[in-house]
């Protein structure tokens, strides 16, 4: 994936965008939001968070090194935005 400006791309196709601290899909539907070091779904439930150098998940999934997120998602977006895109838009 790539984030350029506020647009989110996968394989050359725009799949969503970042609206302030909300992540939206290509149909303009809000998927969730990020705040401080936390990522929430649209029901306001915390689904993931950054702790030290890892992205941790509330559902017990294995944590991911932030270096991996930073290399997986291209662009100059802040790391928290990249993490939110990873959590909310990954298949």
Side-chain-side CA neighbours of residue 50 (13 Å): 20
In the chain, the N- to C-terminal Cα span, in Å, equals: 12
Contact 86, 78 (CB under 8 A): no
More confident of the two residues 91 and 21: 21
Domain ranges for the chain, please list them: 2-89
Q: What is residue 90's predicted lDDT score, i.e. its pLDDT? A: 79
Contact 26, 16 (CB under 8 A): yes
Q: Which residue has the tokens 């998940």?
A: 57
Q: What is the mean pLDDT of residues 5-28?
A: 96
Question: Residue 52 phi/psi, 5° resolution?
Answer: 55, -115
pLDDT digits (tens, 9 = 90+) for 31-89: 999 999 999 999 999 999 999 999 999 999 999 999 999 999 999 899 999 999 999 99
């Amino acid at each position: 994936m790539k984030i350029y400006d506020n647009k989110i791309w996968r394989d050359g196709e725009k799949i969503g965008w970042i609206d302030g601290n909300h992540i939206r899909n290509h149909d303009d539907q809000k998927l969730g939001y990020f705040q401080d070091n936390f990522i929430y779904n649209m029901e306001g439930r915390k689904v993931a968070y950054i702790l030290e150098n890892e992205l941790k998940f509330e559902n017990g999934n294995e944590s991911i090194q932030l270096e991996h997120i930073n290399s997986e998602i291209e662009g100059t977006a802040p790391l928290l935005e990249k993490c939110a895109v990873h959590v909310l838009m990954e298949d």
